[in-house]
Amino acid sequence: MTYILKPQLHHPKLATNNLGFTRRDYEGSVSTLCAGCGHDSISSAIIQAVFELELPPHRIAKLSGIGCSSKTPDYFLGASHGFNTVHGRMPSVLTGANLANKDLIYLGVSGDGDSASIGLGQFAHAVRRGVNMLYIVENNGVYGLTKGQFSATSDKGSKSKKGVVNHDAGIDLVGMALQLGATYVGRSFSGDKDQLVPLIKAGLAHKGAAFIDVISPCVQFNNHVGSTKSFDYVREHNEAVNRLDMIPARSPIHVDYAPGETVTVTQHDGSVLSLHKLAELYDPSDRAQALGFLQSRQARGEIVTGLLYVDPEAGDLHDALDTVATPLNELGQADLVPGSAALARINAELR
Amino acid sequence: MPISVKTGSTSSGAVTINDFVVKFANVNGSGSASANGMFAKSILRCGVPVAARNIFPSNIQGLPTWFEVRVTEAGHLGRRGGVDLMVAMNPQTWDRDVAEIEAGGFLFYDSTKPLPPSKFRDDVTVIGVPLTAMCNERYQLPRERQLFKNVVYLGALAALLGVEPAVVETILAEQFAGRQKLIDANIEALHMGVGYVHEHLAPIRLQVRKADKVGDRIYVEGNSAAALGAVYGGATVCAWYPITPSTSLAEAFTGYCEDLRTDPDGKARYAIVQAEDEIASIGIVVGAGWNGARAFTCTSGPGVSLMTEFIGLSYFAEIPAVIFDVQRGGPSTGMPTRTQQADLLGAAYASHGDTKHPLLLPADPGECFEMGALAFDLSDRLQTTVFVMLDLDIGMNEWLTKPFAWDDSHNLDRGKVMTAEMLEAGADFGRYKDVDSDGIPFRTYPGVHPSKGAYFTRGTSRNPYARYSEEGAVYVDNMQRLLRKFESAKALMPKPVRQDAKRKTTDGVLYFGSTTPSMLEALEMLEGHGRHLDAMRLRGFPFSDEVYDFVAAHERVFVVEQNRDGQLRTLLMNEGEIDPAKLVPVLHYDGTPITARFIAGEIGQLLALGQIEAAE
């Protein structure tokens, strides 16, 4: 049995949010991943983000595919419904779930094996349809559960633990998401919670297809010299373009940075993104510039992180389909079944 | 104007009324389909049943296509086989078309270009109408010349067969409603054909006479009927990927939803997504089903092959889904525009591991509607994938069928769903717990309650409380419960339809789906030859006890189906542990719809052989 329940006892002085939930209320069962795994840091960042956003846990649906990363939804948000689907197919299942009930918040968790190989097509199509979701790829550049094969995001020239050199070009999911029309795109590092938590918060508040690529080193199989996804490599080559503060819709807006260095973006739900610029001239509202910037930095071996693109006015798939305000799964018989009178008319037309 | 070729008399032999087959041989993309459809409808409006079938290539323009209309006052809606009047409009297929005409039959052709006598048959009456010459003289635009040629032959055929032109005029007016100029132009072309026959030819011995045999029946494609069934079954999410012969089901669902499920402000009470492939289609359906919406996809055999991984997830994680499988000729790409019943085993046991799935087996568009709606109640009740097994013959051809009916007092059965109130009241929620001993557990919809009822859905083994478990006993217990659930499905399936022979017999026959009209006609033919069989039409899988009782009550049971390997027979043997020797396969699988002649011939021969053996 790899399923271990956490004790439900809380420290009596544990801080609560305005909903009365402690951080523990957003946790799940005990992680079965390796000690030091970057994925556990991401789970922890998700817990913190949802706690700080004061979201009722049951209003979130968490979906994943197959792999180490896809196991993690069991380890956070235990009071949320979760769905560990099939390999590479989480995007379609999430799309269907979202069509059924537009009122829940959809969190898709996947890995580089799940999303960049078998699931590359589904990733692309869910993004281009503008499904309202936050899609997180926990990207370690390696197949952990099957012990160390290269994944499709491994950089060309990167070395495996056994010393094999990867000769295939790496797939950059951030570049793809931008090209496919994602309306919120970020990249972060599992080791940088200060950067990651606000990115997750803003992504959850975003309406439309939000995507965050989180470089998450695999301590067992991809943390050695020669890997471009090791803790050391990512720390050394991380180039953050901005620092994000995310202010939820109902909070008073307070920005720390001096004017001139900071851009504020108000999202659809009223949440305010305060972006402290780190790279001169980087404009996260310019999709084409973002793509160019990323590619030029990537050529130099740098890993660009931060909020890379956001369209605060984006719509979603339900807007495109012009569906009713009521979630489809709540429509009753009278809304759904036209009844015998309509059949009489149809029958007459078929004679 | 060239002179029409006339060989023999156009009125020789005894008059045949309301019982003949007309076949149109056309080139696809020539606009003939609409004229041919109106021909069939004209006869229906005379109160005479027709069975019409398209035989078409996997191609958009330029290849041969046929449309066969069986005029049948007796109401035999299966394909008869053989042709009494061939409307030969395609030079490419001329020789085989001419060869197909029954002796004493008729050949209708465009006589603009004279053909050598070797191109005709002595035992066939030839009717030439210079369609091209007439249209070239009257019309200037090439497209007009082409399209109106179809309407001119429609007029000529009406006059030859004794159909009142006014009947066709009414249909033309309906077809082009609101476009008076088009109606006038078509009626003019129609009368060019009628006038030519009156002037140069005479009615033939195949005649349509007004009757009252259509009743209140409607004329509709199975795909359209199934789509309407999905609307009435409360489906709100449709995800699909285009594939012949199922595409028109999704298109019909779109049309019906626009009509019946749109709010006054234009908002949709439905969501339709054309997915990137069949895998994503079923993924969307599973996601929506998990989240409490009724969802379906429609596809054909190749799509079902792609979907099998998700079908296994639906089975094991117990998520409702509906798949309309409009079967075509397999395996692989097979014969995309031909019909078969060859997905039965693939659907029943889709996916790896031990799985089985309920199947509904509609026999006509009327049942496509009923079962199209029922499938959603069943999939919610059973929390699993339910297949509705159409085929190209039912799906893409218009069939005369009973009118759609709906009981307004019927409540959609959402199955065992634990609500927030039930959870609040302290109900013990175990997602995979068999609380009622029927193998069917309760589920919750995501977001139902702030602190109760959440669970983690997975395709891996788990205990009754949905927690991951690799314990052998826990796994076996769950697999046994799934078997109990399948057993519970038996009682929910539509009952088989039994038709006993007029005399006591030890012979029986089992059949299903689009074989039905030909089977019923074959039974009449066999009875005419003193061969009596009790018959049972299967309408669902798992099979109910009546089916096994029927087999047990007969010494020999023929199993008639449209595939090579006897897939229904295999299912019966496998699920009912029936002695294979008892089940005699009668198989038709060349891609054309099975005929009564074929069935009666095969069974007649087998029965005769049996008698010889008995005599020895």
Start-to-end Cα distance in chain B:
69
Q: Which residues contact B564 (CB under 8 A, 6 or more apart)?
A: B342, B587, B589
Kindly list the distances between the CA atom of residue B530 and the CA atoms of A18, B88, B517, B533, B553, in Å, as whole numbers in the listed order. 85, 39, 20, 10, 21
Peptide bond into B542 cis (omega under 30): yes
User: Mutate which of A92, A109, A326, A343 to test chain B, going by most B C-beta atoms within 10 A?
Assistant: A92
Residue B258 — pLDDT band, cuts 50, 70, 90? Answer: very high
Closest Cα in chain A to B452: A79
The reported pTM is: 0.95
Secondary structure, 3-state, A240-282: ECEEEEEECCCCCCCCCCCCCCEEEEECCCCCEEEEEECCCCC
Residue B124 — pLDDT band, cuts 50, 70, 90? Answer: very high
Task: Pick the range with the lowest mean pLDDT from B20-29, B499-508, B603-612.
Answer: B603-612
For all residues of chain A together, what is the average pLDDT? 92
Closest Cα in chain A to B451: A79
Report whether pLDDT(A229) > 60.
Answer: yes
Contacts of A91 in chain B (CB under 8 A): 280, 283
* C-beta of residue B322 within 8 angstroms of C-beta of residue B385: yes
**Within an 8 Å CB–CB cutoff, is residue B447 touching chain A?**
yes
Quick one: which of A60, A102, A97, A98 has its CA closest to A326?
A102
Quote the tokens at residue B570.
């295999």
- Per-residue DSSP letter, A167: -
Q: Which amino acid is at B531?
A: R
Q: Quick check: B404 and A129 CB within 8 A?
A: no
pLDDT in tens, A68-111: 999 999 999 999 999 999 999 999 999 999 999 999 999 999 99
* C-beta of residue A83 within 8 angstroms of C-beta of residue B457: yes
CA angle (A201 as vertex; A197, A202 as ends), nearest 5: 120
Residues 329-388 of chain B with CB under 8 A from chain A are none
* C-beta of residue A58 within 8 angstroms of C-beta of residue A68: no
Q: Quick check: B451 and A79 CB within 8 A?
A: yes
Kindly list the distances between the CA atom of residue A30 and the CA atoms of A37, A42, A74, in Å, as whole numbers in the listed order. 13, 14, 8
Mean pLDDT of B231-256: 98
Phi-psi region of A126 (alpha: psi -120 to 50; beta: other; left: phi over 0): alpha
Mean pLDDT of B54-70: 88
- CA of A301 vs chain B CAs: smallest distance (Å): 34
Q: Which residues contact A178 (CB under 8 A, 6 or more apart)?
A: A185, A287, A290, A291, A294, A308, A309
pLDDT in tens, A139-167: 999 998 888 899 999 999 999 988 899 99
Task: Note every long-range contact of B572-579, with CB atoms under 8 Å and residues 24 or more positions apart, other chains counting.
Answer: B572/B510, B572/B543, B572/B547, B575/B541, B575/B542, B575/B543, B576/B543, B576/B547, B576/B548, B576/B551, B578/B548, B578/B551
Q: Which residues contact A28 (CB under 8 A, 6 or more apart)?
A: A6, A43, A73, A74, A75, A76, A77, A78
Closest Cα in chain A to B461: A1
**Within an 8 Å CB–CB cutoff, is residue B411 touching chain A?**
yes
Kindly list the distances between the CA atom of residue B95 and the CA atoms of A52, B32, B308, in Å, as whole numbers in the listed order. 79, 20, 44
Helix (H/G/I), strand (E/B), else coil: A191: coil
The ipTM, to two decimals, is 0.95
* CA separation for the pair A279, A296 (Å, rounded): 14
- CA of A94 vs chain B CAs: smallest distance (Å): 6
Residues 242-261 of chain B with CB under 8 A from chain A are 260-261
